[in-house]
A and B are shown apart, each in its own frame.
Chain A
Amino acid sequence: MLDAANTAETQVENVLEVNNIEVIYNHVILVLKGVSLNVPKGGITALLGGNGAGKTTTLKAISGLLASERGEVTKGSIKYRGLDIQDADPAETVKKGVVQVMEGRHCFEHLTIEENLMTGAYTRTDGNAAIAADLEMVYNYFPRLKERRKSQAGYTSGGEQQMCAVGRALMSRPETILLDEPSMGLAPQLVEQIFEIVKAINEQEGVTFLLAEQNTNVALRYAHYGYILESGRVVMDGPAADLRENKDVKEFYLGMSDEGRKSFRDVRSYRRRKRWLS
């Protein structure tokens, strides 16, 4: 089943290839122990797993934000369109078309929503008219932001801030958005709304998404392909539809099993299949 998926995958062009990377923080803490993944062009790829699995670290390794947190990629390679980007400056990576939306939104609190969005266009050199057009585009996807454009971002709600963060990333005209935990701290209804917009952006603007999520249920409904991370390793991957039906995924990540609901005491960690062990 999974092998068939892999051969189907090779027919699509991979924009992003992460090969067996190892990440160490502060020279001592080994967080990623050999993670490999491919992100096909124009798709939504989900990176799933619990707390501390290494989802955020993987995204930060790709975007280049690790360096500012004293982390470094010590093994493996990250290629975007065939070019090495693992030691690149974040600004360079943004110019290449990869932008990260960080976990916990990280809006510029004292800037207005509109200023936040405009900051997203910092690396662009294609003129004010194009930037203004894209601002309209972002307002089209997020009408709520247009209403709040003059408010300081710090005073807007969590959902609005998440929209602002995604909109800000969109302003750089990216090919690929690394979306970290968009559902964090939001009401289920809002989560659904955000994912709908992500899907619309993916389909209409052709933006590729790599999204890290703990909310496996929602993520697998919107993603095309999924990777499951556990303690810094990819333990399973496959098309989202297959993962959704997989017995183990159901049990460990969706909380469903044949015997009905289980106590947390009985839940084991999933470590049977390990790929790319280094």
Chain B
Amino acid sequence: MPEQLAFTIEVFLNGLMAGVLYALVALGFVLIYKASGIFNYAQGVMALFAAMTLVGIQNGQVPFSHLINAILGTDVHHFGWHVHSAIAIVFTVAVMVLLAVCVQRFVFRHLVGQEPIILFMATIGLAYFLEGVADLMWGSEIKSLNVCATEGACLPQGLNMWIDETTYNAFGYGFFIDNLDIVASIVAIILVVGLVMFAQYTKQGRAMRAVADDHQAALSVGVSLNFIWILVWSLAGFVALVAGIMWGAKSGVQFSLSLIALKALPVLMLGGFTSIPGAIVGGLIIGVGEKLFEFLIGAPFLGGATENWFAYMLALLFLVFRPQGLFGEKIIERV
């Protein structure tokens, strides 16, 4: 196999893997947008917050320790225990549900029936507030995150040797693919299938879609908007946690994590704001597109660093020619 082709395939595969991570973030956006028409700018920060909470609980860190120490003059940082990953995840999910209840109770319940732009502004405020809370609660240093089922059986790091060897033996060129990326892909697939099944075949999922279509009509048949919105924000919180774990395990839990939310924007424009599978496909296209473009055109002809803007250019093209995205719900218009 010619060297160039093998390289291209490897870049393609790596792009696919990166795309899965974009898709995970985009998924959270879609959930909230679908059910409440709110574009949740805070989704990226929620991923950060979830990841930090998970690490904090795992390491037995004392929340708000800086604040407590500053006020009481004490010097506490750790409880001195380590919590098993599974238990820590359960607690983190509980925290995200609590966050959903608070967001609904204190912010969006008072903004029912307001313009979309006002709701959007509220989520920007929420994003900065949450970032501040995350900082105050767990501190701002970069933390490493790993999730282990038992001692030694953690999220795999490093290259997958099996793929490397097999492809080397077959083509004379070993592909470099991260174990973590493979796990992330599998998790993403399970998550998407689960969410789609939930939306399609359960009573609450159906109510969720009904609310997305027509708030008033949903109210009139007795669906509680409050409950549905809390449910949706909790789901988005859970998706944020999964995204946070994957990104955190890859590059450490740090505040730049909240910026990946920006990369989810072009993903959404491609996939459509209202489609769960669209978020996934959009993520993959952006991931593959920007890696391949960088490798084939960007680096040799444009002086590189095209990854920074490629996604946005692609999104712009889509906005011009297909504003509802690839899979967005068609605006049904009867004549």
A-to-B contact residues, CB < 8 Å: 63, 65, 68-70, 89-91, 93-95, 99-102, 106-111, 115-116, 118-120, 122-123, 152, 154-155, 168-169, 172
Contacts and interface: CB of A to CB of B under 8 A. Distances in A.
Interface residues on B, range: 20 to 34
B113 A110 contact: no
Given A109-B332, A111-B210, 12 more contacts: A63-B220, A68-B113, A99-B220, A102-B217, A106-B214, A106-B217, A108-B214, A108-B217, A109-B214, A115-B209, A115-B210, A116-B210
Nearest to A171: B221
B88 to A, nearest CB: 35
A129 to B, nearest CB: 15
Given A70-B113, A91-B222, A122 B334 contact: no
A69 B329 CA distance: 26
A119 B218 contact: yes
Interface string B296-317: 0000000000000000000000
A171 B324 CA distance: 34
Interface of B: 112-113, 203, 206-207, 209-210, 212-224, 329, 332, 334
Nearest to B213: A108
A101 B218 CA distance: 11
A107 B332 contact: no
Contacts of A110: 209, 212-213, 329, 332
B220 A119 contact: no
Contacts of B203: 118, 122
B34 to A, nearest CB: 10
A68 B223 contact: no
Contacts of A169: 221
A154 B113 contact: no
Given A68-B113, A102-B217, A155-B334, A108 B209 contact: yes
Contact of A68 (B219, B222, B334): B219
Nearest to A115: B206
Interface centre among B216, B222, B329, B334, by most A CB within 10 Å?
A: B222
Given A91-B222, A123-B222, A68 B214 contact: no
Contact of B332 (A63, A116, A152): A152
13 contacts: A68-B113, A68-B215, A68-B219, A91-B222, A93-B222, A99-B222, A106-B220, A108-B210, A109-B332, A111-B213, A119-B210, A119-B218, A122-B203
